[in-house]
Chains A and B, each alone.
Chain A
Amino acid sequence: DGGITQSPKYLFRKEGQNVTLSCEQNLNHDAMYWYRQDPGQGLRLIYYSQIVNDFQKGDIAEGYSVSREKKESFPLTVTSAQKNPTAFYLCASRDPGSPQGTQYFGPGTRLTVL
């Protein structure tokens, strides 16, 4: 069953703690993305990776870090430096067979800082 999985679905964190959100895909897609969504707002790009061992900052990278050691995996770490980490985090991958560059999303992780 091909797709994108994210875990955990819900995550609670105390202030000052780092947490890592998992994103895995078995679609054989090269490009992967992390977005953040706040209530009533559009998605904003945090980091993206177009190929293994390479990644670039998106529009709101401060307080976040990523790695891309394997094609299938693109974990996101929310560090204590992120001032407002409570949000819905969405991972996506881009279909290389789509001329338009269509992206498909995982089910998301809801992070709440207590």
Chain B
Amino acid sequence: RKEVEQDPGPFNVPEGATVAFNCTYSNSASQSFFWYRQDCRKEPKLLMSVYSSGNEDGRFTAQLNRASQYISLLIRDSKLSDSATYLCVVKGQNTGKLIFGQGTTLQVKP
């Protein structure tokens, strides 16, 4: 079983749609959680950290469920520019090592 699992998609949605991605992680001792965005052939860029109480940044909302060991990302009012791969990332203890999911690809269509 992979340490961090995501549905690779692709998710094809029309502009203005709401779309949600889920991610599960296997290590219950994981400390920190992130969503990164990666455009085609570019480096990953931090989208947002994920906090236990849930957090929102504009059209993006992240949730963490420690009991079920999953993380979610909700994107409201999708824009064409949201088309990218979204990486679920979990940080282990002590070393600062990040464990990456394989990514979920989102295509927003006009």
Decide: B96 and A90 in contact? CB cutoff 8 A.
Answer: no
Asked if residues B96 and A106 are in contact (CB atoms below 8 Å), the reply is no
Chain B interface size, under 10 / 10 to 19 / 20 to 34 / 35 or more: 20 to 34
Inter-chain residue pair count (beta carbon < 8 A): 57
Bound form: Cα–Cα A35–B96 in Å: 13
A108 interfacial by beta-carbon distance below 8 Å: yes
Interface size class of A (residues with CB under 8 A): 20 to 34
Cα separation A45 to B80 with both chains bound (whole Å)? 32
Encode contact with B along A56-95: 1 for CB under 8 Å, 0 otherwise: 1010000000000000000000000000000010100010
Q: Mark B33-68, 1 if CB is under 8 A from A, else 0.
A: 010000001111110010000000000000000000
A41 CB contact (under 8 Å) in B31, B99, B102: B102
In the assembled complex, the CB of A92 is this many whole angstroms from the nearest CB of chain B, namely 8
What is A's interface to B at a CB cutoff of 8 Å?
31, 33, 35, 40-45, 48, 50, 56, 58, 88, 90, 94, 100-108, 110
